Every structure is written in structure tokens, then in C-alpha cells.
Amino acid sequence: MNFTIYEDVKIFYKETYDILMRHEAQNVIPLGNIIIGNEGKDKTDWRDPANWFMAAVSDGRGILLTAVMTPPHNLTFYATDNKNDEAALRCLLDGIVEKGVNIPGVMAEKSLAELFAKSYSERHGIKFNVNKNQRIYELSDVNEEIPKIGTVRLATEKDMSFLPYWMKGFDSDCFGDSLATGNDINKYLYRMSANNLYILEDNGMPVTMAKISRELKTVCVVGLVYTPPYFRGNGYATSCVAAVSQFGLDRGFKNCVLYTDLANPTSNSIYMKIGYKPICDSIEIKFN
């Protein structure tokens, strides 16, 4: 087994892109990251590959395990063709330990993430806990019976009177972050700068948002779905996600992908009604 650390993101991209593309929808996070790094156009926040950890484990058959971490985020990795190879996993662990790479947590296909977490925690004499059980869904056709409510439009700077609060509400619901927005307005402007954040208005009132992100070769990701508490229970999120998903398909993407928290059965039910189908379970694990 050979453990390779990559310093050049372009080489890493060249050697791993086609492998990750074998399960494009499952690998939207690592694929999106290496595309950003390879293009080199955006080095905002975590996006500078000079700070990344990029590695692969290979043998005579080729690359068996691909790993990338964009600090401060978790390590993400993929077993080629979803074939977990324990020898390759041990090789990755040996390389990480030898190089003294600090791993705050991992996010990957459930069985692979659990194998890694168990071995990594034993090596370091630490504990780990499951931060989030997730399911990855994919959609190729939007259910035409979903009720269409109001109007869906692109967000603009005029929406900054409420968008920072919605974004913090999303972060609080998903990650437990504080609801305080702070004074750095640029980070909120950044999240809408790519013209892919949409607002659903009902009778002129903004009620829900959703975003298209990580536009890959054949799939795009739908995320940042948020309805303020006052407006929940009216079908707004369902209508907005259906509309935004259709926008993605209309732009030529074969499929739309989204992540859900399995602790939220309501959202999982909503997305399946829209037409999303589960493709695999993913797990986020934190070390402590």
C-alpha cells in the first residue's frame, strides 16, 4: 500500500477527479472542494488549497481511498467504488499519525466513517461521538403535483434587511450556532454573490429561501433551505425546494442532490414527496 500526500491541488484533482465522479452525487462535497481548488479563483475562508490536507492510498490496482480536508472542516473521504478496504484504511491512518495531522472529525459514507473513527480514536486514546446522521438524496424529476405557492426569485442586496438573520437561523438549526449575526456583513453578501440564492415570496412577503450550490458535471446541490419559525407549516419549504430543484434541472443538470438530517423526519418526508430518492447514508463524527 502506498500513502501519498499531495501539495499541489492540480495534481490531486487530476488523479482523483474521475474516481470521485464514479459516485458523483455521493461525493459532491470533496468534488466541489477540489474543483474550487483546481480553478483557483476563490480563496475565501477555507478555500485556499495551501491549507488543505489531500491524500490518497493506492496499490497496483490504483487509488483505493481518497481523502481531503479543508480546515476547519472535517476530513471527507471516499473508498473507490464504495469498496471498503481495511488495509487501505490502516494505511491512511498510519500516514495521518506519522505526519501528525490533526483531524477534528470526519464526514463520509456511514460504514467507512465508522471504521475510520473507531481506529483513529483507539490510536489516539480519545473518544468520538456522532454529531449528525445524514441521508443523501438525489432527484431527476420534480413531482408535478407539488402545490406552487407564490413567486420564487433571486435574492438581491435589498434582501439584506433580513437575510443575515435567516442565514444565522439556518446555521443555528443545522449546526447549533449562535443566532447573533455580528457586524461582518461581507460574509452574508458572499453567500448570495453567486446569484444562486432564491427567495420564495407569498403575496409579496419573503417566507423561505433555498440555494443552488456545488454545480458539478451532471449534478447540482440544493441547500440552505430555511423558513423562519413564524411561517412554518404552510408548505413554503416544499414549494420553494421544488421550484429551485426544477431551476437546476432546467439549467441542464441531470440530477439535484441534497443532504438531510435523519433526526428531522419532517424534512426527509418533504423531500421525498418532491421526488428526491435516497442514495446512501452519510455520518458526521466529531473527536473529543
The whole-angstrom separation of Cα 268 and Cα 276 is 9
pLDDT band at 253 (very low <50, low <70, confident <90, very high): very high
Whether 179 and 273 share a structural domain? yes
**What type of residue sits at position 196?**
N
Residue 159 lies in a domain: yes
The whole-angstrom separation of Cα 206 and Cα 163 is 10
Residue 142 lies in a domain: no
pLDDT band at 15 (very low <50, low <70, confident <90, very high): very high
Whether 111 and 195 share a structural domain? no
Whether 46 and 112 share a structural domain? yes
Q: For the sheet containing 75-79, what is the strand order? A: 2-5, 53-59, 62-69, 75-79, 105-109, 277-287, 128-139, 255-261, 219-226, 205-213, 197-202, 151-154
> What whole-number percentage of the chain has pLDDT above 90?
84
Per-residue pLDDT, averaged over 183-187, amounts to: 74
Per-residue pLDDT, averaged over 118-141, amounts to: 94
pLDDT at site 189: 80
Residue 137 lies in a domain: no
Whether 169 and 223 share a structural domain? yes
The total number of structural domains in the chain stands at 2
Under DSSP, is residue 91 helix (H, G, I), strand (E, B) or coil?
helix
**Residue range 80-125, pLDDT digits in tens:** 999 999 999 999 999 999 999 999 999 999 999 999 999 999 999 9
Helix H, strand E, coil C: the string for 186-242 is HHHHHHCCCCCEEEEEECCEEEEEEEEECCCCCEEEEEEEECCHHHCCCCHHHHHHH
pLDDT band at 174 (very low <50, low <70, confident <90, very high): confident
Per-residue pLDDT, averaged over 151-176, amounts to: 89
- Residue 15, domain CATH: 3.40.630
- pLDDT of residue 279 exceeding 70, the answer is yes
Whether 70 and 170 share a structural domain? no
Where a domain ends, among 78, 93, 126? Answer: 126
pLDDT at site 108: 96
Residue 55: left if φ>0, alpha if ψ -120 to 50, beta else—which one? beta
Backbone dihedral angles phi then psi of residue 45, each to the nearest 5 degrees: 55, -120
- pLDDT of residue 194 exceeding 80, the answer is no
pLDDT at site 184: 74
Residue 63 lies in a domain: yes
Per-residue pLDDT, averaged over 120-139, amounts to: 94
pLDDT band at 21 (very low <50, low <70, confident <90, very high): very high
Sign of CA dihedral 272, 275, 281, 283: negative
Whether 63 and 14 share a structural domain? yes
pLDDT at site 229: 94
The whole-angstrom separation of Cα 206 and Cα 199 is 6
Per-residue pLDDT, averaged over 140-149, amounts to: 97
Residue 18 lies in a domain: yes
Whether 170 and 107 share a structural domain? no
- Residue recorded with cell 462535497: 29
- Residue 163, domain CATH: 3.40.630.30
Whether 171 and 269 share a structural domain? yes
DSSP tag of 164: H
**Residue range 51-86, pLDDT digits in tens:** 999 999 999 999 999 999 999 999 999 999 999 999
- pLDDT of residue 274 exceeding 70, the answer is yes
Whether 115 and 155 share a structural domain? no
The cell for 70 is: 479543508
> What whole-number percentage of the chain has pLDDT above 70?
97
Whether 28 and 79 share a structural domain? yes
Cβ of 42: how many Cβ atoms within 10 Å?
A: 13
Give the residue numbers spanning the domain of 193: 151-280
pTM value is: 0.92
Residue 215 lies in a domain: yes
pLDDT band at 186 (very low <50, low <70, confident <90, very high): confident
Whether 158 and 272 share a structural domain? yes
pLDDT at site 193: 75
